[in-house]
Amino acid sequence: MAGLLKTVLIGAFLAFLGERLLHFNYRFSPFREIESIELPNCHLLQGIECGSEDIEILPNGLAFITSGLKYPGLHSFGPDKPGEIFLLDLNQDNPQPSSLRFIGEFDHASFSPHGLSLYTDEMDDAVYLFVVNHPQYKSTVEIFKYEEEENVLVHLKTVKHPSLYNVNDVIAVGPESFYASNDFYFTNHIMRTVELFGGLKWTNVVYYSPSEVREVATGFYFANGLAMSADKRFIYLSAVTGKEITVFEKHENFSLSAIKAVYLETHQDNLFVDPVNGDVWTGGHPNLWKLFNYNAEDPPGSEVVRIQNIHSDDPVVTTVYANNGSVLQGSSCAAVWKNKLLVGTVFHKALYCQLE
């Protein structure tokens, strides 16, 4: 009897998955191959070999880069190396990344940095970094203050909460508050694979402040990168497996209302907003299968996409750069400052380009 019940349950689960796949197939393309699109003035940044998963840039041209993500199912070129945050000064002609030193109570050995957000205090211009961390594959958000004089990161706080179960990215909206994209069921690699490749929408966006934590949006195909418009009125969310960017209006009480969606060709990862013109930039995965099943002979490729006029009826979507992995593997973000472009990757190197 128990055997029969098991068979029925497994059958029901497979039927459910099959139904999901039918609904899902039209956007999911984990095996796409790409034609290369080259940019003329690019080189790899020296010293970044174990990823540059997320990149954010201050208006003064200082770029911060998270490196050394360790995550179930993802390759790492430095499995025993603690994660790092690199600083790059884009004002320089030939900028070189430097690994920032940490100060304060913080276990650097287990640091596994993922999404990153910068917050500038309007009163005193102090800069704070909000970094998603996965010590022992769990999820925390670390808050650091950047001390420019000494060029160090002072650790202020570790945020943990049951609603922040498996966090991917954050966007800071106050000195201690943020939105987080989150998977509310799984951290296990096999179950995550079923979830991601089966098109299950078990991810959400959580608003966190020390006095209040609540879900503000739910039901996305792998909620990932988060960004905010320069006027702080809108939040953008990247749903990777759905190739979908949702635009939300942000209310004063921090509730979000979805107002539109933009669909891409690539499985876009993190998002970056150019504060000058509002363009949204992203690094994408043409071939998610290769990203999660790493083979050095046939590595995952990279794609950089720019979305102009995202709020208009006809956003202009342009693939600015594409490479089959021979130069850059598994791009996860793209960020611009003046005519400079940085492209980060989940576990590989980082590319610096001078645009025209």
Ligand X SMILES: *[C@@H]1O[C@H](CO)[C@@H](O)[C@H](O)[C@H]1NC(C)=O
- In the complex, the residues that contact ligand X under the rule CB under 6 A are 36, 251, 253, 255, 298, 324, 326
**Residue tagged active-site, from 43, 108, 114, 161:** 114
Q: How far is the CB of 177 from ligand X (least distance, A)?
A: 15
Bridge partner residues of 176 (DSSP)? none
- Our answer to whether residue 114 is catalytic in this structure is yes
Residues recognised as catalytic: 114
